Amino acid sequence: MTKTIIDLKTGTITEEEYTSEELAQKEVDKDIGEAFDIEQRNAKQAKADLKASAKAKLISGEALTEDEANTIVL
């Protein structure tokens, strides 16, 4: 795999091969990014589920938990 390097002072463009360390770091960064994306999706889904639960309880007249009540913005 190659990388493109642009020297902004001279405008020179060169291509170099990634080192094994750079490739390893690239994989680590990819894994961290994927884990972050999953965490964000899970948090978003949990919030949506909490709002749906709060709405259902309000409609049925049940008591809300504190977390459910905190989702309601007046």
The count of structural domains within the chain is: 1
From the CB of residue 54, how many other CB atoms can be counted at a distance below 10 Å? 19
What pLDDT is stored for residue 72 in this prediction?
A: 81
List 15's β-bridge partners, or say none.
Answer: 4
pLDDT per position as a tens digit, 21-69? 999 999 999 999 999 999 999 999 999 999 999 999 999 999 999 998 8
**Count of other CB atoms within 10 angstroms of residue 17:** 10
What stretches of 1-74 show up as alpha helix (H) in DSSP? 20-60, 66-70
- Provide the β-strand partners of residue 13: 6
- Domain limits for position 17: 2-70
